[in-house]
Amino acid sequence: MISPSSIRTLFMGTPDFALATLQGLLDAGVNLVAVYTQPDRPKGRGNRLSPPPVKDLAQKHGIPVHQPQKLRAPEVVEELKSLAPDLIVVVAYGQILPKSVLEIPKYGCINVHASLLPRYRGAAPINKAVVDGESETGVTTMLMDVGLDTGDMLVKRATPIDPLETAGRLHDRLALLGREAMEETLRRICEGTLAAQKQDDALSNYAPMMKKEDGRIDWSRSALEIHNQVRGLDPWPGTFCLLEAEVLKLADTRPVEASGAPGEILRADAEGVLIACGSGALLAGELQLPGKKRLKASDFLRGRALAGRRLE
Domains and CATH numbers, the chain: 4-203 (3.40.50.170), 212-300 (3.10.25.10)
pLDDT number for residue 137: 98
pLDDT along the chain (312 residues), means of 10: 96 98 98 98 86 98 98 97 98 96 98 98 98 98 97 98 98 98 98 98 97 97 98 97 95 97 96 97 97 95 91 96
pLDDT number for residue 245: 87
| Inter-residue contact 178 to 134 (CB < 8 Å) | no
pLDDT number for residue 43: 84
pLDDT number for residue 145: 97
- Nearest 5°: the CA angle 293, 295, 301 is 125
pLDDT number for residue 275: 98
Residue 62 burial (10 A CB sphere; 0-12, 13-18, 19+)? exposed
Torsions phi, psi for 297 (to 5 deg): -55, -40
